[in-house]
Amino acid sequence: MAKESKNDKKQLAKYFYEVMYRTRRFEEDVFEFYKRGLMPGLAHLYLGEEAIAAGVCAALRDSDYIGSTHRGHGHLVARGADPKRMMAEILGKATGYSKGKGGSMHIMAMDRGILGANGIVGGEMPISVGAAYASKYRGTDGVTVCFFGDGATNEGLFHESINMAAAWDLPIVFVIENNYFGISVDIRKVTKENTLSKRAVAYGIPGVTIDGNDVFAVHEEAKKAVDLARSGKGPSLIECLTYRWQGHHVGDPATYRAESEFKSWKERDPIVNLEKTGILSTAEIETIRKRIDEEIAEASTFAEESPYPDMSDAFTDVFV
């Protein structure tokens, strides 16, 4: 039994490493496209937060749903979305998930249960509650995960959505990706109680705060919450403490953050954390990296060489 458990953990570690490294490389190439002036608009990168999406999404089934944020690339990668179509969408190309019309902040992958990233802070919350309600109404055992940042917890949508989900015991897991800053505002300066998971008490649901850079810890708590929701026992709130490496978006120098704090969090790199466990050998890590480097390079080439949508397609798939 112990041998099987050890093997299971190794396979899980391989999966986590692949997802986190794929997300890291994807975001690095997105940043390069921005610096080359090839990406319309801005992107909000997931660099440094990779363990959250990897750990949470590993607890889900293919039939489950996800509500995502403006910082949503990592959620799609963790759900197995096609990096080629993702990168093409970010560059505004016709081969993208939304034919280039959604871009980075509204990227979606309905084939993977991703209901769409959202440019409105907290905008994904009522959408996610609606998806969870639909699952309960239809009598399925589907679960919805709603990702959002620390800043969204001060929005009215946060309280309204959790209240409804709790009152109706909806199958949903609320995940706070607490990277401490909503654009330039430090969440610790605008809340009396800085442990955001304690807000769950007001709605009578479980709430927990964990190290969002420990992918195994994230997965363990996510699995508990997903199992609870799937069994009909209602929602949970998980606060994952993490730190974004870049500014709020690719054009933000983030001069409002203390350099010492940034350095301290960067030393807690979730990918390096996993490497340090020793579960994976150096050779195994190098093999994974090589394969994913090639995969992301191929996706970036595909996106760059893809055509832009034709002007005649401007009003297709648009509801007015």
Cα distances from 50 to residues 22, 37, 156, 200, in angstroms, run 9, 25, 27, 24
Assess whether pLDDT exceeds 70 at residue 97. Answer: yes
Give the pLDDT score at 314. Answer: 85
pLDDT for 315 equals 86
**Which pLDDT score, from 0 to 100, does residue 130 have?**
98
Residue 167, pLDDT above cutoff 60:
yes
**Tokens 């810890």 sit at which residue?**
217
User: Distance between CA 277 and CA 189 in Å, rounded?
Assistant: 35
Task: Give the residue-averaged pLDDT of 143-166.
Answer: 97
Per-residue pLDDT for 180 more than 90? yes
pLDDT for position 24: 98
pLDDT value at residue 34: 96
Dihedral sign of CA atoms 239, 204, 68, 298 in order: positive
pLDDT at 142: 97
Cβ-contact 144, 126 below 8 angstroms: no
Q: pLDDT: is 314 or 148 the higher one?
A: 148
Say yes or no to pLDDT of 3 above 50.
no
Q: What is the pLDDT of residue 4?
A: 44
Average pLDDT over residues 168-177: 98
The predicted pLDDT at position 317 comes to: 83
Q: Report the mean per-residue pLDDT for the chain.
A: 95
| Residue 257: CA count within 13 A, CB half-sphere | 23
Are 206 and 236 spatial neighbours (Cβ–Cβ below 8 Å)? yes
At 2, the pLDDT band (50, 70, 90 cuts) reads: very low
Residue 219 has pLDDT above 60, yes or no: yes
DSSP 205-242: S-EEEEETT-HHHHHHHHHHHHHHHHTT---EEEEEE-
Asked whether the beta carbons of 115 and 67 are under 8 A apart, the reply is yes
Tell me the two tokens of residue 165.
């989900």
Q: Hey, how many other C-beta atoms are within 10 angstroms of the C-beta on 4?
A: 8
Residue tagged 């995969």 (tokens) = 295
Evaluate if residue 136 carries a pLDDT over 70.
yes
Residue 320 has what pLDDT? Answer: 67
Q: Is the pLDDT of residue 243 over 80?
A: yes
- The reported pLDDT for the residue numbered 154 is 96
Q: Of 102, 38, 95, which is closest to residue 73 (Cα–Cα)?
A: 102
pLDDT tops 70 at residue 109: yes
With cut-offs at 50, 70 and 90, classify the pLDDT of residue 5: low
Q: What is the pLDDT of residues 48-88, one digit of tens each?
A: 999 999 999 999 999 999 999 999 999 999 999 999 999 99
Q: Which amino acid is at 249?
A: H
User: Could you read off the pLDDT of 17-55 as tens digits, one per residue?
Assistant: 999 999 999 999 999 999 999 999 999 999 999 999 999
